[in-house]
Chain A
């Protein structure tokens, strides 16, 4: 199978551009569903003996004096519920749980999470710092081992991936918490892994080539590396897909991010990183 990536780059640019723009739009309008790890607050996970009605639950919570609650049902039975509310004192939380569970007769408390808002802020700061540091470190390393334009293209592809994943998360209202952050960072590292594999081949092919327009060489490299890249991604996707289906709630949420990320990452290694590199080289490299 021979792919003419560079020739058909006119198809790939618009696809990527649309995806990125739509994602940004979604992120800023829909907004991200920031989890309690980022905003701080109280999360209470209850399992009732009987099926509960959501409005009755809401009313009980409001009557207790708590507003801005998020009540979510887990599973299809209507017996398991997750309640998220802005920060309250521990006494108040215990009181609320006691009331909802009618002193333990109506059900059981599975998990209870209290995070002061300062922790949430700390995490937000960390997240930004982490992403910045990763970008800088990678830029340095790739320039050192390969060359600067490849580093830039790799970073472009790298930033392209989490943006699209965040767009999907905004669209589907996935909760953004620590697990989500870990998954996004993993997919960034993984996508990079993939991109390096492609550039490794390009680097080989370009040995001794000094032209400005290296489209042909890039195409050759991509085709040579295609099978390897796809197989690499397929194994990851198999594992992640299985985790998604069978891993239980926590692993599912983690894996679905990786699932989208792996697909987008493969796409970006082949069809974003390389055309960008080709372009940069054509425009800026001395003939």
Chain B
């Protein structure tokens, strides 16, 4: 087989793997050091079966603190505060028991042919080697897509149709 043919074959084989991931709502960085501050970039590559996305709502993982979302022109930003699953020390001898649990970007319009990113920042829980999830709901003009499936033991995100964006926490180097 000539070089060209081989190159093409390899290219196609490599490309075949990519589109599957392109199809889901995922985090740009899927690995981060536990306990550090992390910028979560949620990538929304499409709408709901062709319908434009009008709202993106995400629930931050338990144990993530100091969550601040990034505003987005054309979208209304709101957060939901609730009891933290794990109270956090506030550095002055006290405890923080409440914090942001959900972030909502609403009132926008992202057509299916376009791509956009939704960003928030916070401190990750200090649990190395764990995988945390950012269940995300995309609401569209018609329909809703819920990227909220948490893989059961022994399974991975690729086994699911609507997996929640996941982040693997690594130990400090």
Q: Do A and B assemble together?
A: no
